[in-house]
């Protein structure tokens, strides 16, 4: 008695695997080694069911997706008021690495662009870089239910070529937006971006947020419940680079993407989606990932503002059998 949702994901995978649009990121030299054909889709429901198709065990670096979750850890470390005073909550409409800062409030605009993410990483507590990195890796482990490593070549590649991020960090230091330990923080930022995940991890991470901060499989709390909405709301407004507005309109599921081709998307109270497919569009989002999320959202009525009866009922499709649906 197979779940029809599994067949649905298989069909979706087969429909989009041949899509040739987009380019694998190469501005960090190590990223260019990824295969354009890699493609995995994973969905984890808030009651702990996992549905996967394609390359869901293949690891890649989390990149910008880390920013949303490290923001959550900074909130736990300092509380909302302080974190809000250090990094804003307005989308920039600009590229993720643009050198713009909110001079009126002396903050970077939001935690999802590089400047804001570096300022957020600066807030992570710990006696030294090692302890801070350990805290970040352990936090991700609570979300995914497994231990995580850094891809050292990617980390070194980012560090060697990350002049723009370094320039931005020093500019923020000049304005007292970040603390003096800037070299340690930059290393930490490059390390968090170089952490290895797979599509299953990304689905588990967003399912954990969708489930109020508790991993639906392990039962372990990954983030205090009161901060879950902070993370998800900024994913909605700023999570998909300068395509966040279009994503909110077309897909309507808060999400965060990264330049290695990952997307994590949170349908609150229902499920998390994890995608891996390296070719990116001009804004930096996975081309197959966009198609897949758009279709899942439409077919199951997951757009956060949808009130119409969806084409398929999610619960029936996840739990039901083919016969009861007339297959
Ligand atoms: N480590 C990357 C950078 O700072 C993150 C890029 C991304 O995924 O958007 O350039």
| Closest residue by Cα to residue 300 from 278, 263, 327, 273 | 273
pTM of the model: 0.96
Strands 271-276 and 262-267: antiparallel
Tokens representing 161 are: 């070529």
Q: Which amino acids bring their CB within 6 angstroms of ligand 1?
A: 63-64, 96-97, 114, 158, 165, 193, 258-259, 284
For position 322, what pLDDT does the model report? 47
With a cut of 50, say whether residue 210 has pLDDT above it: yes
Q: Which of 67, 200, 256, 270 is catalytic?
A: 67
pLDDT (0 to 100) of residue 40: 98
Mean pLDDT computed over 297-309: 97
Across the range 60-66, mean pLDDT stands at: 97
pLDDT of residue 77 exceeding 50, the answer is: yes
Instruction: Return the minimum-mean-pLDDT range out of 35-44, 95-104, 248-257, 290-299.
Output: 95-104
CA 33 – ligand 1 centroid, Å = 16
**Which residues of the chain form beta strands (DSSP E)?**
40-45, 50-54, 60-61, 196-197, 255-257, 262-267, 271-276
pLDDT band, very low/low/confident/very high, at 123 (cuts 50, 70, 90): very high
Query: Can you list the domains of the chain with their CATH numbers?
Result: 4-62+197-325 (3.40.710.10), 65-193 (3.40.710.10)
pLDDT confidence of residue 1? 53
pLDDT of residue 100: 86
Q: 5 alpha carbon to ligand 1 midpoint, in Å?
A: 33
* Section 112-138 average pLDDT: 97
Q: What whole-number distance in Å separates Cα of residue 133 and Cα of residue 175?
A: 25
C-beta of residue 55 within 8 angstroms of C-beta of residue 39: yes
**% the chain with pLDDT above 90:** 92
Q: Is 82 a catalytic residue?
A: no
Inform me whether the pLDDT recorded for 324 exceeds 70.
no
Average pLDDT over residues 29-58: 96
């Amino acid at each position: 008695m197979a779940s029809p949702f599994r067949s649905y994901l298989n069909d979706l995978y087969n429909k989009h695997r041949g899509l040739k649009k987009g380019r694998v990121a190469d501005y960090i030299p190590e990223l260019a080694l990824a295969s354009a054909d890699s493609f995995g889709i994973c969905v984890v429901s808030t009651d702990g069911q996992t549905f996967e198709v394609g390359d869901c065990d293949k690891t890649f670096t989390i990149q910008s997706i880390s920013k949303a979750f490290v923001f959550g850890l900074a909130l736990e470390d300092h509380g909302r008021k302080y974190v809000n005073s250090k990094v804003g909550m307005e989308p920039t409409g600009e590229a993720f690495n643009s050198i713009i800062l909110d001079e009126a409030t002396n903050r970077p605009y939001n935690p999802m662009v590089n400047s804001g993410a570096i300022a957020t990483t600066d807030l992570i507590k710990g006696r030294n870089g090692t302890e801070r990195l350990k805290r970040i890796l352990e936090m991700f482990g609570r979300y995914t239910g497994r231990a995580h490593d850094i891809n050292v070549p990617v980390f070194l590649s980012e560090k060697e070529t990350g002049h723009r991020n370094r320039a931005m960090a020093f500019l923020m230091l000049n304005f007292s937006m970040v603390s003096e330990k800037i070299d340690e923080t930059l290393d930490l930022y490059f390390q968090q971006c170089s952490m290895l995940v797979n599509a299953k991890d990304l689905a588990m991470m967003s399912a954990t947020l969708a489930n109020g901060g508790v991993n639906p499989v392990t039962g372990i709390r990954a983030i205090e419940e009161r901060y879950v909405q902070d993370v998800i709301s900024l994913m909605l407004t700023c999570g998909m680079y300068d395509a966040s507005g279009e994503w909110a309109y077309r897909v309507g599921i808060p999400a965060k993407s990264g330049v290695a081709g990952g997307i994590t998307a949170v349908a609150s109270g229902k499920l998390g989606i994890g995608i891996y497919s390296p070719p990116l569009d001009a804004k930096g989002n996975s081309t197959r990932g966009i198609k897949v999320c758009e279709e899942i959202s439409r077919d199951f009525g997951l757009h956060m503002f949808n009130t119409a009866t969806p084409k398929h009922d999610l619960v029936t499709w996840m739990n039901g059998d083919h016969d009861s649906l007339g297959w």
